[in-house]
Amino acid sequence: MERLDRAFEKLLRHHNFAFLEAHSGAIYGVWDNFRLAYLNPGWFRFAKENDGEPRISKEWGLGRSILDCVSGDVKVLYQTKLNACLNTSEVWSHQYECSSDTVYRCFHQLVYPLVRRGGLIIVNSLVIEELHDPSKRQAMAADESVYIDENGFICQCAYCRRVKNYSVAERWDWVPEWVRRCPDNTSHTFCPACFAHYFPMATTDA
């Protein structure tokens, strides 16, 4: 599978390409329209380790927009942040959670603007990896009667992966079964806790 658009390679001349290739985490480059133009080996390694292959390689090749994987509030926020990074030529740095059903993982993401606002290089580094603490994350059964809204969708936080419980006001539950395999009728957004914690400036501005 092709991993680098040769035209995009010119935008990477101020970066250490050998470092990008050898980095243990997933690194990807996008054009100014957020379409994929570079994927490092760590991208595929992460996909394989998290049961994403062969689907990731088939569906997420060069030319695919990274915004295709998000919708609603998540898409609006990321598009705003990425555009700001391009327009100001300032690095965007933040942390996010990407846990499995058994392991808590926190990543640090750096988004570097490239020359002439031609694109971005996005570096993801693992910060914390540890088994979930059952006392902090009680596992709940995948009971559709309390987790599906009136339109037939399950609302899952894009970061902590908790699911909105519609039987109790403002409650989000940890449902491991839907972390292992996300149902097709899942809609991703941010739970109030994650939005306030990971994007405090956006919360303040609002």
CATH of 6-132, one of 3.40.1190.10, 2.60.40.420, 3.30.450.20, 3.20.20.105: 3.30.450.20
Q: Are 23 and 38 in contact (CB under 8 A)?
A: no
The CB density around residue 190, as the number of other CB atoms within 10 Å, is: 20
What residue ranges do the domains of the chain occupy? 6-132, 144-196
Q: pLDDT of 10-34, one tens digit each?
A: 999 999 999 999 999 999 999 999 9
Convert the pLDDT of each residue in 41-95 to its tens digit.
999 999 998 888 998 999 999 999 999 988 877 888 899 999 999 999 999 999 9
Span 105-156, pLDDT tens digits: 999 999 999 999 999 999 999 999 999 999 989 999 999 999 999 999 999 9
The pTM (predicted TM-score) of the whole model is: 0.85
Closest C-alpha among 47, 29, 48, 45 to residue 37: 29
Contact 91, 112 (CB under 8 A): yes
